[in-house]
Amino acid sequence: MSAEHYAQLLETRQLAATGETFISPTLEFAQGYDGVVVQFTMKPGAQEALQSIGVRDASLLAETSHGTMSVVEKGWAARNAFFKAEQGQINIGLGDGKALETFNRYIQSYTPVK
């Protein structure tokens, strides 16, 4: 995330919506971006809560791992978590609505990664 968004996280304890608010399950993938890499520790149930409002891309990986989800449609960012295959893993788009609110509710702690 940008230094500005990290400062906002420190101040509010909430992840801010951006043009592309995605979380990744691997440090390796996340370190490919500029800015501050943050590791979140989530309260139990976070993954399930996001899955309950999830949509997926049409990739084979997303279909295999989340086949019961609907395929993403325009407008997902306000109401869904977007499970998207990228480089052999599933990243989750939080958008700027319900999924981001859900994620923020489940944050237990966070730590910047060097």
Which sequence spans correspond to the domains of the chain? Answer: 3-113
d(CA 1, CA 22): 10
Spell out where the chain has E strands: 22-23, 37-42, 54-56, 70-71, 81-86, 89-93, 107-113
Mean pLDDT across 5-33 = 92
Buried b (16+ CB within 10 A) or exposed e, 34-44: eeebbeeebee
Share of the chain above pLDDT 90, in %: 90
Is residue 31's pLDDT more than 90? no
Report the range out of 1-5, 17-21, 28-32, 58-62 with the highest average pLDDT.
58-62
User: Which value, to the nearest 10 degrees, does the dihedral of the CA atoms of residues 59, 64, 65, 70 take?
Assistant: 60
